[in-house]
Amino acid sequence: MSNQKISGGKALMQAFIAEGVETIFGYPGGAIMPAYDALYDFRDQLRHVLVRHEQGAAHAAQGYARVTGKTGVVLVTSGPAATNVITGITDAMLDSTPLVVITGQVVSSLLATDAFQETDIVSITQPITKWSYQIRNASEIAWAVARAFYIAREGRPGPVVLDLTKNAQFELTEFNYEPCTYIRSYVPIPKPDLTQIEEAANLINKAQRPYALVGQGVILGHAEKELLTFLEKAQIPIACTLLGLSAVPTKHPLFKGMPGMHGNYSCNLKINECDLLIGIGMRFDDRITSTLDTFAKQASVIHFDIDPAEMNKNVKVNVSVLGSVKETLPLVTELLKANRHDEWISSFDALDAIEYEEVIKEETNPSSDDIKMGEVVRKVSEATHHEAVLVTDVGQNQMMGARYFQFTKNRSFITSGGLGTMGFGLPAAVGAKVGAPNRTVCLFTGDGGFQMTIQELGTIMQEKIGIKMIILNNNFLGMVRQWQEMFFDERYSFTTMHNPDFVAIAAAYGIRGKHVATHEALDEAIAEMFQDDAPYLLEVKIEAKGMVFPMVPSGASVSDVRLK
């Protein structure tokens, strides 16, 4: 690198380019203005997407990261801008999404003086990041950015915050960029223990009723092929967690669906019938396990994960296999005997048939005049030949999307899992489409969540981002209303929504759209929506009090899953 001195703002841009950054999601302001001034000269190398709210920048960067496998980058100013990205940072931490978030800060001489738009963002974000650091001198920028990208992407991914003072952006510095490849105190990928590998293989070889729960760790580790080789050799049926969906094609014969609170009937019941439960790149969270004292007590448990902190955190396991699943799965596969578990695998079928008759049949092909949520999801998935990227908001739309959308490609499902952030969907879909411009991106959202970040329609307009937005409008906060109906004596306390004309709002942003309220109109509108690559908003009037079933009530056993 040249030893010619450049400004800190320019050093930041040069560091981004050195790390392979192509896209930044952000919003300018006073304390980050020198960096934005430098960005003006890098417009041919760095695409900047101007969001309409800083929370939108964080969620868009998450969508971008999830669909591409790259690190998402956020650039915002200080004070309220920095605090506005906290929800997205927390969401990224809980869902292991790699982000580098740059926040502006007042000049160093004004720190701790309560200066205009000064906020101690480092202290605020330390509990919700992998690393949070304040840069006070331009000479630190190259070192800090290299370290930030290394920490964000290596091992279990997550967000990093760099708080950049305004004086550091102005100062001149020699720019010598060295990518970070090692930090003494950080071991991102534990070395596999061959004893653990052998113990895991022995348990699998002896099992008569093995069952795998596959999470997002497989996707983050780029281990989809290794997973299928492992499963097919031992003939192990699998269910994918919410964030693990699309790791395996929906039509794969070993794929049985999704476990958890609104998962498939068979997937939940078989947890308490298997003799070996294998968790792969997942964290046994409460939405999967429900009450722990009745979860898979009859089974031996193997846990594959990259993060030692997840081992025995919730579910006590017999064998912990630490390391990247891309490395550990093949090591175990080598020791497996080719096996068949035909009777065990086929035992899922009878339960699937019950769920189809009790739930799926009416939900996807309703006999009533009301449009059902599952019907909309199924038809949109079919219209995309099951090749689209599905982005959801949070609530009933999220669960219905997960249950009825089908996947043929990996990295095709983006949602807020651990934090459950309403408002996530619209900006995340923006980021997903920016990251995968040649793929169809479909957003399913509710009328409540859509309005939390509705201003990002402006981003779609300005950037000409061709996402397909489907609002499942029941004029309720649907998931909360479902709980009120089931567990609070139908006392619908402040869950009724009086909504605006969403299609008219979209039209004000130059986005085409349509209202539909009948089955016939739905078919026509879906066909119209996919006629071209332009953004489109489809508002579907669904049944007011639709329910998401199956359901494992909070605090119940997974065996107590309800179909109605």
Residues classed as catalytic: 54, 116-117, 166, 479
- Cα within 13 Å of Cα(86), Cβ side: 17
CA-to-CA distance for 396 and 540, rounded, in angstroms? 14
- 253 contacts 352 by C-beta, under 8 angstroms: no
> Which residues face 339 on adjacent strands?
none
**Residue 385 is encoded by which pair of tokens?**
């030949």
Q: What three-state secondary structure class fits 445?
A: strand
Cα distances from 28 to residues 78, 354, 413, in angstroms, run: 10, 55, 30
User: What is the spatial distance between Cα 449 and Cα 537, in angstroms, rounded to a whole number?
Assistant: 15
CA–CA dist 472, 162 (Å, integer): 38
- Listed in sequence order, the residues at least 6 apart from 483 whose beta carbon sits closer than 8 Å to its beta carbon are none
* Parallel/antiparallel/unpaired status of strands 172-174 and 5-7: antiparallel
Rounded Cα distance, 169 and 7, in Å: 6
DSSP state of 240: E
Q: Helices in 49-106 by DSSP H: which ranges?
A: 54-68, 80-84, 86-94
In 3D space, the residue among 199, 147, 185, 155 whose CA is nearest the CA of residue 307 turns out to be: 155
CB 557 within 8 A of CB 269: no
Residues in the chain: 564
Count how many Cα atoms sit within 13 Å of the Cα of residue 199 in the half-sphere of its side chain: 16
**Amino acid, res. 314:** N
**CA 473 and chain centroid, separation:** 23
